[in-house]
Structure 1
Amino acid sequence: MSLGSLRHYFVTQSELLAFSMQLVSERVMRRMKELKLTGDPRQNIELIVAQLVPLDEERLAESEVWLAFMGRAVGDPSIRAFSLQVHDQLYNGFLSIVSGMVVQGLAAGDLDVELEAKRLHALVDGLVVHGVTRPERLTAAEINRVLLYHLDQMMGKRS
């Protein structure tokens, strides 16, 4: 698409980023709904969380959009509300994962559900940032390794 064509549909770069972020959110949600869950809660958690980090070209492109969008939202009130909505959706998803781990008896000891959801959220956000900005230092295999290690720790396993 030419720049002129884009300007016809999007008056500002923020509008384009918000539209792109909406598409990314829809794609990720669709992928999660279409996941073939295994019946093993641990594997299912891994599958779900893996949809949010840059493990392949598609998720890398989505992560790049997310990073550009969130960076822009910091100083642009016109998309700030949408960025907070995206953030809350992610946090609620992580809260649901951690709560589910506790209910299913997968979590270690007296896990603080809210704190662990925040920690998992921060970890995933950080993996996205590093995976996008330094892919030579944090490869898809390393991202996956960090996630698995963190899940092991949450479950009280020693890796």
Structure 2
Amino acid sequence: MPKIVDAEARREAIADSVLAVIAREGLRAATLSSIAAESGLAVGSVRHYFAGHGELLTFAAEALVDRTTARLYAHLASLAAAGSADARRAAAVDMLCEVLPLDGVREIEAAVWLEFAVAARLSTELAHPIDILHDGLRALVTRIITAGAQSGRFRVGIDVDVEIARLHALVDGLVLHGVLASKTDAVALSRRVIETHLETLLAR
């Protein structure tokens, strides 16, 4: 009997190969032939699941966004259930650290996100998923800053809009540094940077 292949699982596996090639060699190296080789498939097999190179890259970008967004929103339950100020702050830091390159999976995702973010300037297809990830992160940052200000945990008189922009820029900067800089102590240092930033906003 012919082997039954789960089409969606195969598409996800091919997307994994796209992300691996881009993280290792850059977006330009993500050709159909290199992706097929990474997947252990023939080019024709890849074409069976995707109409073309553009559709394949867009699907990989959307997979990256979906996976990252799912992890981010999974932390919202912990944030909502946190019973103390310290627990809420720890949950917020955990959530923001999800987008940082702090392990193998997130290193790949962060490197690919930067490649896609640059390419999205000139690609309508890639711009949409990257905008979703950007807007999603901003929405979570907005929730953290707004909740802290409204609950009285943050200093009276902070400019909420400025603090949202500052925290968002801080996280984006840590992503860039994590991809480009040495990984030595990156996990501990990145987390401490976010913790220290949030502590500067606390009411005394």
In 2, the alpha carbon distance for the partners of 1:31 and 1:16 equals 23
Cα distance per residue 1:84-135 (max 9 Å; x no partner): 2332222122111110111222212211111111111111111101101113
Give yes or no for contact 1:131–1:138 (8 Å, CA) kept in 2: no
When normalised by structure 1's length, the TM-score is 0.83
1:32 aligns with 2:79: no
1:55: Cα distance to partner? 1.6
Aligned CA distance change for structure 1 residues 3 and 136 (closer, same or farther; 3 Å): farther
Match of 2:124 in 1: 77
Alpha carbon RMSD of aligned pairs, Å? Answer: 2.3
Give yes or no for contact 1:17–1:69 (8 Å, CA) kept in 2: no
1:137: Cα distance to partner? 6.2
Match of 2:157 among 100, 105, 110: 110
1:138: Cα distance to partner? 6.8
1:149 aligns with 2:190: no
1:82: Cα distance to partner? 3.2
1:63: Cα distance to partner? 1.0
SS of alignment partner, residue 99 of structure 2 = coil
Consecutive unaligned residues in structure 2, runs of 5 or more: 1-38
Aligned CA distance change for structure 1 residues 156 and 6 (closer, same or farther; 3 Å): farther
1:134 aligns with 2:175: no
Give yes or no for contact 2:110–2:179 (8 Å, CA) kept in 1: yes
In 2, the alpha carbon distance for the partners of 1:121 and 1:133 equals 19
Structure 2 letter corresponding to 1:120:
L
Match of 1:125 among 172, 176, 181: 172
1:100 aligns with 2:147: yes
When normalised by structure 2's length, the TM-score is 0.66
1:28: Cα distance to partner? 2.3
Aligned CA distance change for structure 1 residues 50 and 66 (closer, same or farther; 3 Å): same
Match of 2:135 among 64, 73, 88: 88
Match of 2:113 in 1: 66
Between stretches 115-124 and 54-63, larger displacement belongs to 54-63
1:42 aligns with 2:89: yes
Identity of aligned residues (%): 30
**Structure with higher RCO (Cα < 8 A, 6+ apart):** 1
1:22 aligns with 2:62: yes
Match of 1:11 in 2: 52
Q: Which has the larger radius of gyration?
A: 2
Give yes or no for contact 1:17–1:65 (8 Å, CA) kept in 2: no
In 2, the alpha carbon distance for the partners of 1:67 and 1:3 equals 28
Aligned CA distance change for structure 1 residues 79 and 21 (closer, same or farther; 3 Å): closer
Give yes or no for contact 1:54–1:63 (8 Å, CA) kept in 2: yes
